[in-house]
Amino acid sequence: MKRNRLYLLFILTAVIFSCENYLDTYPGNKYDDATIWKNTDLIESYVFGIYGGIPYPHTWLTSASLVDESVPIQNDGIMDRVLQSTMTAEEPGAFVPNWAACMDGWWWDYVYSNIRACNLFFAKIKIADNTPEIYKEQLKSEVHFLRGYMYFLLLEQYGGVPLLDWVYNIGEDVNIPRNTFEETVNFIISDLDGSR
């Protein structure tokens, strides 16, 4: 029995030390930052991920049910409080996360995480040496549209919002002042025009 253990220990040691890079492997579905921005297919996948942030508009409760454009079939009191303007800060009803899956893509933090992804794309696409310039320009145009659309989602819910055109990182000042409604509209237009 003791001899078998020694034999097993010898085999394990030989296997581990015979392959010096054995433990330096990476999962096949995870990539480091440098790898992503040097590979056109991974950059394209990154942009597709931002497209995934566009909210799904048609579920059992559409956004139109939150205003007087439609009449919800469901009468659970939440829609009545929204439609009759009797909602309070203590009981925000339909505007709390996880109330309805169809609204997840509209929440402030979710939309801003997609805006951050757009800003990160603009910061990193400059180092994408292996991607043809014409394709980089196409992707930039698409991401400008996506960022403009994300700000539109915020604008229609909150009015003027803080406008970020840089990558916001942990530890930075979180007290960013809100921009005006007009400034937000102009920011969106400049993104859609490609002049930003």
Q: Which two three-digit tokens encode residue 145? A: 């549209």
With cut-offs at 50, 70 and 90, classify the pLDDT of residue 60.
Answer: very low
Rounded Cα gap, residues 68 and 53, in angstroms? 26
Total count of domains within the chain: 2
pTM: 0.67
Same domain? 140 vs 159: yes
Same domain? 178 vs 116: yes
Same domain? 47 vs 143: yes
Same domain? 181 vs 170: yes
Rounded Cα gap, residues 73 and 103, in angstroms? 17
Domain boundaries, position 107: 27-59+101-193
Rounded Cα gap, residues 115 and 86, in angstroms? 32
- Give per-residue pLDDT as tens, 120-162: 999 999 888 888 899 999 999 999 999 999 999 899 888 899 9
Contact between 140 and 148 (Cβ < 8 Å): no
The verdict on residue 11 lying in a domain is no
DSSP tag of 152: H
Same domain? 79 vs 138: no
